[in-house]
Structure 1
Amino acid sequence: MDAVVSLDGATAGHGAKAAGLGELRRAGLPVPDGFVVPASLDQVDLRAAVDGALDALGPHAPVAVRSSATDEDVPGASAAGQYETVLGVAGAQDVVAAVLACRASAAGPRVTAYRAATSGARAAEVAVIVQRLVPARAAGVLFTGDGRTVVEASWGLGESVVQGAVDPDRWTVADSRVVERTTGSKRTRVDRSPGGTTTRDVPAAARDRPCLDDQTVLRLAALGARVADLRGGPQDVEWAVDDAGTIWLLQARPVTAALPDTPAERCERGVLRGTGASGGRASGPARVVRGPGDFGAVRPGDVLVCRETDPAWTPLFGVVAAVVTETGGLLSHAAIVARELRLPAVLGVAGATDTLRGSVTVDGDAGTVRRHPRDPTP
């Protein structure tokens, strides 16, 4: 049978995500230990292979299980958040189930819709990464490129940031100094719990307090620069900081679409402001979607208005003209996919689902949503 391989030995044949992490580990960068389950490993032999590999990590240590598909984390198509990720599982039985879930997600509706909208390629082979789970005090994403590094972060595991479930803290670093900082409202956090993860409320006193100090942000930016130099171009890096203050790199992939510039603040009547996450302008009827039960009401050309977007909502991105959310940041999965699809998006618009009705114009460059006056009654 095809045996699992250590993360240090991962190559392009195990998908770009695994290969990238292997490259970082071989360069001495702080990447959690782990192994890769090849796509060719037969399901019959999977349990025995995982059993043996987990013994080396610690048979009951919690792990993160992530896909490493052949069409994922490649130039021009990140597939950010499209394949399954399972965090916090422990023991061979649950790890095997997580590996199978990652493999099965390749044929799921969100991956299929994303693939049709980007590469148009056929179903991919899916290797799977199993890594030690970092017990994160804070975590998030950083982007390098254009002479700056942008860091977004929140309390706990990075799922809050990548899923757009919070308005994250954000820092911009240029010339080895913090040149801009914005403190978000981090109302919830995701942490490891028995059998997986749990979302819980952040204490009120910590919601509007930065989850990182500037020194840690500069250390993150320096690591991001090392990754970009090693990999030969701007990088999208997921990371975590543990209770001891150690930074761990969890993923690195090419930046597939540049971040929009931050416009100067302005305030106009009838305009709501958020974070311009994907450039361009589009107008259409505001369609408030509160969950999958509302998907059937979405029509081509609508402006999707929601609290946050789950990866399962990706099929809607191929239908709507623009996206507006109440939470989320520049580096969330929804923002990354919107930029790849050139879909105007403004995130973090307070009260959007309660106030946006009728026709609206979304300006992803300015970070605004303009409400059109209602047509006069005849």
Structure 2
Amino acid sequence: MTVRLDDASPAHGGKAAALGALRRAGLPVPDGFVVPAAVAPRDLPGAVAAGSRDLARRAGGPADAPVAVRSSATDEDGAHASAAGQYDTVLGATGTDRVVAAVAACRASAAGPRATAYRAATAGAAPGTPGPGGLAVVVQRLVDARTAGVLFAGDGRVVVEASWGLGESVVQGAVDPDRWTVADGRVVERRTGSKRTRVDRSPGGTTTRAVPPSDAGRPSLDDDTVLRLAALGRRVADVRGGPQDVEWAVDDAGTIWLLQARPVTAALPEPAGHGESAGVLRGTGASGGRASGPARVVRGPDDFASVRPGDVLVCRETDPAWTPLFGVVAAVVTETGGLLSHAAIVARELRLPAVLGVPAATDVLRHAGTVAVDGDAGTVAPA
């Protein structure tokens, strides 16, 4: 009722298939197993228990070691649509009961509002339509990350974004991450972000805590590790046959682990130079294009009802639960987040202009009226 990750195929969804291919190629992917979509709910406890025992025999350690539980839908991590962040992920689950609950939560998320809204926006599916082929679930040993993030490997360059702790801070857009660009085997650009929070494993799953000021302003990786990541990213792209977004983690021993790889569905914007203009706010151009509309500050789900078609969404950060708004608004502006966050990936797929990492945007633009967003230049200005 489970499949070893080494044996995963496209029948087990995009994420499992990619991880299986990378393990077979000898790349450093944490071991795990797949719960196929066909396993009935009543059989999940037995399947998870058996899979966990088998994993413990192969990987060593107890059967109830902490794991990462991730969706692997057949319409996820594909060449044309990533579904980045649209299905649930549960980190730090321990014991059969908690892992079974995590598997069930991943499965249920396939019919949730963010996944169905994403499918409607990217594939024309009717809202509420479940993904084709059901949803398999990957269970992997959790990497207790010292530093983690995402890299883009393709078009002659590798872009790496990183922050302290587990990678959720970066993919959820909760921090302004560090960023490096590697070309011709060397680091050609560095940018240190303001990494104010971090996510780490805790007995109940994960905990978010503040980053000490001494760490918030210093790089979370050294250049040697960045170059090692870039080399691994290029190998992933070679194995998978094209540019890739890769989630990764570095443990306390300095070992790099690859956690996920998906085809790049929309190219990164080219870096833009910044001139100075009065009244212009600047951030990271995460999704190209230009759009204008009324600035609509949204501080949480309670404000969703205030959003109107054509508004410019202005918020501190966007997590995947905000995806339904992406089909309504004209552009997105956030205070935190990087080029490789889930919000940025989805915005690029939807051709929605987005500027991320604009300091104090929710306060500055609260009464701004109509604004113009330039996702290529990374600017927000009065219209």
TM-score range, shorter chain: over 0.9
Tell whether 2:337 aligns with 1:359: no
Percent identity between matched residues is 78
What is the deviation of 1:175? Answer: 0.4
1:262-341 aligned within 5 A: 262-341=271-350
**Which amino acid in 1 is paired with 2:94?**
A
Paired with 2:10 and 2:116, the residues of 1 have a C-alpha distance of: 23
Equivalenced residue count is 370
- Residue in structure 1 matching 2:9, options 8, 11, 14: 11
SS of structure 2 residue aligned to 1:349: coil
- Residue in structure 2 matching 1:51, options 37, 45, 49: 49
Paired with 1:52 and 1:120, the residues of 2 have a C-alpha distance of: 39
SS of structure 1 residue aligned to 2:200: strand
What is the deviation of 1:285? Answer: 0.2
Paired with 1:99 and 1:362, the residues of 2 have a C-alpha distance of: 40
Q: 1:30 aligns to what?
A: 28
Tell whether 2:65 aligns with 1:61: yes
What is the deviation of 1:265? Answer: 2.0
What is the deviation of 1:120? Answer: 2.7
Tell whether 2:379 aligns with 1:368: yes
Q: 2:215 aligns to what?
A: 206
What is the deviation of 1:177? Answer: 0.3
Q: Which sections of structure 1, spanning at least 5 residues, go unmatched?
A: 373-378
SS of structure 1 residue aligned to 2:123: coil
Paired with 2:316 and 2:276, the residues of 1 have a C-alpha distance of: 22
Give the structure-2-normalised TM-score: 0.96
- Residue in structure 2 matching 1:347, options 353, 356, 365: 356
Give CA deviations for 1:271-322 in whole Å, capped at 9, x if unaligned: 0000000000000000000000000000000000000001000000000000
Give the structure-1-normalised TM-score: 0.97
- Residue in structure 2 matching 1:123, options 126, 130, 138: 130
Q: 1:173 aligns to what?
A: 182
What is the deviation of 1:61? Answer: 0.4
What is the deviation of 1:166? Answer: 0.4
Q: 2:59 aligns to what?
A: none
- Residue in structure 1 matching 2:102, options 98, 101, 108: 98
Question: Displaced runs of 4+ in structure 1, greater than 6 A?
Answer: none
What is the deviation of 1:343? Answer: 0.1
What is the deviation of 1:371? Answer: 2.0
Paired with 1:53 and 1:147, the residues of 2 have a C-alpha distance of: 40
SS of structure 2 residue aligned to 1:118: helix
Paired with 1:146 and 1:228, the residues of 2 have a C-alpha distance of: 11
- Residue in structure 2 matching 1:221, options 219, 222, 230: 230
Q: 2:171 aligns to what?
A: 162
What is the deviation of 1:185? Answer: 0.4
What is the deviation of 1:33? Answer: 0.5
Paired with 2:324 and 2:277, the residues of 1 have a C-alpha distance of: 33
What is the deviation of 1:252? Answer: 0.4
- Residue in structure 2 matching 1:191, options 200, 225, 229: 200
**Which amino acid in 1 is paired with 2:130?**
A
- Residue in structure 2 matching 1:89, options 93, 101, 108: 93
Paired with 2:300 and 2:42, the residues of 1 have a C-alpha distance of: 37
Paired with 2:100 and 2:116, the residues of 1 have a C-alpha distance of: 23
Q: Which sections of structure 2, spanning at least 5 residues, go unmatched?
A: 57-61
Give CA deviations for 1:10-61 in whole Å, capped at 9, x if unaligned: 0110001100000000111000010000000011111011111112333220
Give CA deviations for 1:59-78 in whole Å, capped at 9, x if unaligned: 22000000000100001100
